[in-house]
Chain A
Amino acid sequence: MINLIEPLKIAFGSILSNRLRSLLTTMGVIIGVAAVITLVSMGEGAKSYILNQIGSWGVGSNSITINPGAENSHSIELTLTYEDAQALRQKVRNLQYLMPEFVGRGRLAYGKKEYKPGYTLGVSADYPFAYKQKAVEGRFFSQAEDSGRKRVVVIGKTVARNLFGEFSAIGENIKINGVGFKVIGLLEEKGTMLTFDMDDMVLIPSTLSELVLGTNKIWEMFITVEQDDQVPQAIQEIKKTLIARHRKEDFHIHTQQGMIDIVNNILNAMTGIVSAIAAISLLVGGIGIMNIMLVAVTERTREIGIRKAIGAKRRDIFFQFVFESVLITMSGALIGIAIGTLAAWGIMAYLKLEAVIAWSAVYLACLVAFLVGTFFGVYPAMRASALDPVEALRFEV
């Protein structure tokens, strides 16, 4: 029976007595593994965040987004109108919510106070249901108020704080780009998304967009249907209706699932690139380890001679050096995992996102480090085990 515990202990002792050199030897592995763990953990964090966001904004996989401009065209021509939205409301069966979004710049005035919010949007009364953001104080405007062009406005927390401070905004009269409005609702807080303050927002009835924001073109239209499996049929009806009205397909349609697929594709491609970089850096790290192991074998020729003279077999010497290589590499991988995790955690905390520990990457890093350590340790270990004891004992450093 081959005893592997003792060579392992000897290898461990040898690494501990050469701490600095062992650390420098495995630096390539540390950096490679740390980089991969950081990037993959950040990628996983970003992925889960984006998917969460998509989930919280859309109602789910029953949602469809229509954007102006033909697929793959780079023009920013806004081709969709309020009338298009009205037509879709008529023609699409099983329609649940329809939410056209008009985007403009608003300048708010309350008495002598002025404020420019981040977003001023013209939306339909379906907004609180479609985007799952309700009014926490007051109420959202109704469909009747939208079609009746009532001058009512719902504002976000940031806007309210800037314009009204501690006081309630509900019932106050403000002017938006000079047009008088009554504040009827305060939106539920959403926080920041990728550094954008989602509460710095003002929502007015879509019918007033032209008057207030100077645009009658839809930036984006959000539609949901009652059941997920009605999405394909709804897409057909949307296309048919809009092409009939425009005589060409000057818009493009995204679905929830399509967006998730795109996000996944991008992040998977990124993971692939990161893995390739990792593979290269581990290869370079492995060559570095082999280099140092070869130096160590030469340097420790006498030690090998002594060990052989007192009864070490070839395999004892072989395993001692292979284990040393594997242990150094694995320690490097573990240090790299620790550094990578901390770095990912730190960077994501700075971005106010949550890092997701990529366990698959951790296991893979350990496995690859083990293989690299073994592969690049075998040749030096063979050289060491094949040394002639008499010559090894005569060797002078």
Chain B
Amino acid sequence: MSDNTVVRITDVKRTYFMGKVEVNALSGINLKVGKGEFVSIMGPSGCGKSTLMHIVGCLDRPTSGHVLLDEVDVDELDDNNLADIRNKKVGFVFQTFNLLPKLNAIENVELPLIYAGVSFEQRRKKAAELLEIVGLKDRMFHKPTELSGGQSQRVAIARSLANDPSIILADEPTGNLDSKSGEEIIRLFQELNSRGITLIIVTHDQEIASHSKRIVRLKDGLVVADEPVK
């Protein structure tokens, strides 16, 4: 059973200080995501969705509690090892795409491979394959400014897949897109999921969430509902 668990979060709390005011972003979250799952995390703004994503993605550390990623205890890792995890085990997709504007599509997709130490020829080949999968074969050498929002997000998704991660984390991936592009992105996620890729997306769009397989609802830093999509 443990073989299939990609993310296991136990009693995770995260406290910020906004000036002198203590803010409890997460107040004790328990969550388990298995291999091949497609989970939506929903909830009102300020409920801790993004903080949870950052902690799962090893961009941030919990104030207390445990995070296991692929059965590796993340708490005990130093900064360098966390960077390795972000590089190889996690693929991030952001609401604002977060592509590097000076690099073209294929160079953006290559970035995680550079930090993984992959040779130029291999990463070119891999990046080209990924861009083909997301349907941007003919846009490989375009800069982000020459791409539409939907296309930019596809590049970002290709980038997140570069090192064959255990999980893709998407934080409001359709939030900056029109409904048609958003629909295309969610279909791409469904297709990736059908190939066995584990996905967690944060969204507040019920329509988007209904395309996933399981919906987790947060409120005030706690899980208030966790049910499969009918």
Contacts and interface: CB of A to CB of B under 8 A. Distances in A.
Interface of A: 3, 6, 10, 13-14, 17, 302-303, 305-316, 389-390, 393
Contacts of A305: 98
A390 B60 contact: yes
B102 A13 contact: yes
A10 B83 CA distance: 18
B102 to A, nearest CB: 5
Given A17-B102, A309-B98, A310-B159, A316 B115 contact: yes
A17 B111 CA distance: 17
B54 interface: yes
A146 to B, nearest CB: 83
Given A10-B114, A306-B100, A389-B59, 5 more contacts: A6-B115, A305-B98, A307-B115, A311-B88, A312-B87
B117 interface: yes
Interface string B180-212: 000000000000000000000000000000000
A309 B86 contact: yes
B98 A307 contact: no
B94 A393 contact: yes
B98 A311 contact: no
Interface string B69-104: 000000000011001101110001010001110110
Nearest to B81: A313
Contacts of A3: 117
B137 to A, nearest CB: 22
B59 A311 contact: no
Contacts of B80: 313-315
26 contacts: A3-B117, A6-B115, A13-B103, A14-B102, A17-B102, A306-B98, A307-B111, A308-B83, A308-B86, A309-B98, A310-B87, A310-B115, A310-B159, A311-B87, A311-B115, A311-B116, A312-B115, A313-B79, A313-B80, A313-B83, A313-B115, A314-B79, A314-B80, A316-B115, A390-B59, A390-B60
Interface string B40-77: 00000000000000100101100000000000000000
Nearest to B98: A306
Given A390-B54, A390-B59, A311 B79 contact: no
B112 interface: yes
Interface residues of B, number: 26
B86 A303 contact: no
A17 B145 CA distance: 15
A300 to B, nearest CB: 10
B117 A312 contact: no
Contact of A310 (B54, B103, B112): B112
A207 B7 CA distance: 112
B83 A312 contact: yes
A316 B57 CA distance: 19
A306 B88 CA distance: 15
A317 B33 CA distance: 32
Contacts of B100: 303, 306
A393 B83 contact: no
A232 to B, nearest CB: 71
A309 B92 contact: yes
Most buried by B among A303, A305, A313, A315: A313
A333 B54 CA distance: 44
B60 A311 contact: no
A6 B113 CA distance: 11
A308 B111 CA distance: 11
Most buried by A among B60, B115, B116: B115
Nearest to A316: B115
A287 to B, nearest CB: 27
A6 B92 CA distance: 22
A10 B98 CA distance: 17
A318 to B, nearest CB: 12
A288 to B, nearest CB: 23
A308 B112 CA distance: 10
Q: Which 10 A-B pairs have the closest CB atoms?
A: A311-B87, A311-B115, A313-B83, A310-B112, A389-B59, A306-B98, A17-B102, A311-B86, A390-B60, A6-B114
Contacts of B83: 308, 311-314, 316
A8 to B, nearest CB: 12
Contacts of B102: 13-14, 17
A124 B132 CA distance: 95
A278 to B, nearest CB: 34
A390 B83 CA distance: 13
Nearest to B54: A390
Nearest to A311: B87
Contacts of B92: 309-310
